[in-house]
Chain A
């Protein structure tokens, strides 16, 4: 038996009251384990104009590299104060931010650990399907051998690695939908 998939449609411009609630941009409580990190960025279109009606969702492992999900059966600790999901919308100037922790590394192809990363979904008016990308961390030794990063042309790879801000604990990650500095998006 094989049923046909339900097609995707755009989230449109009017989703915020239904989908975005205050507090969802924080994935942590004071008791969550791990290194605190604030991720800030902008969503920009092909004219480098701010996208003020995008929704961004994060999904990530905890500080030990364990996803809070029954299909992750690795023997790593769960964190009762970290579940790994975040959601926010861009503001009038296309800005967004999240409060989270740096995830631990999780298994990847060939039993090789993947470099720590956060899975990202982007929805907006004009996007008929979600876009998917990953946020990788700067100064991370595992980046050099990461299978996903290495499969991407070097000149585009940097779009997946957050930049260190001058403020302590802040990483910058812009999402460029189109154009010269277009972010690498994934077909999952």
Chain B
């Protein structure tokens, strides 16, 4: 018999709804039926595990240095009880310093950088810590509404220990004037929750005369007190 605990539910207001009218792409993609609540079983409390990976420096690619403002992004992956989540996979992707993705479908008229692929992948260490060296991504226009611009952001994909803890999100930068105007950032209903998506500038993380430093921690769902059904 299985005795491992299930995971706590998503906190109300901490996550966006599927239907968010100011984000046009939701109109035909948001389901109309509410999702059916699923009690956690072995299917939800288990999840994939990955071999160690350490593609953590995005600032050099194809024999040259990427253009842009070098930054370090570092932090920890924790659960709601503050416990470290070690050896979990983090994948990131982002636009280059000019606001252009190295992606065939990105038609924004900004230069590609032959020395920036914008892709990183690491597993957290024993303390749940991770660290990337990259360049600050540029803002870019999108067609959601007239004169729409995405704020500077880095995409993050995390697994955590189970199928239930899977998370894809975006990290933003402090002081960005585009945040107030962005339907995706503002899809998170709770203001405090929204602001948790903004990294903190930290002079202690900075490497003098080389790169600025930001801190960004993740909190994934924690364990419930009671065992999962089995």
Contact = CB atoms under 8 A, between A and B. Distances in A.
A74 to B, nearest CB: 7
B15 interface: yes
Contact of A14 (B18, B28, B29, B103): B103
Contacts of B41: 106-109, 114
Contacts of A107: 1-2, 41-42, 230
B46 A67 contact: yes
Contact of B2 (A51, A73, A83, A110): A73
Nearest to A151: B36
A179 B93 CA distance: 32
B11 A5 contact: yes
Please report whether the interface of chain B is mostly helix, strand, loop or mixed according to DSSP: loop
Contacts of B16: 7-9, 128-129
A175 to B, nearest CB: 10
Interface in B27-60: 27-49
A49 B28 contact: yes
User: Which interface class (under 10, 10 to 19, 20 to 34, 35 or more) fits B?
Assistant: 35 or more
Interface in B73-106: 78-82, 91-93, 95, 101-103, 105-106
Nearest to A183: B31
Interface of A: 1-19, 45-47, 49, 51, 53, 57, 59, 61, 67-69, 71-74, 83-85, 106-111, 114, 117, 119, 121, 123-132, 134, 148, 151-152, 156, 177-179, 182-188
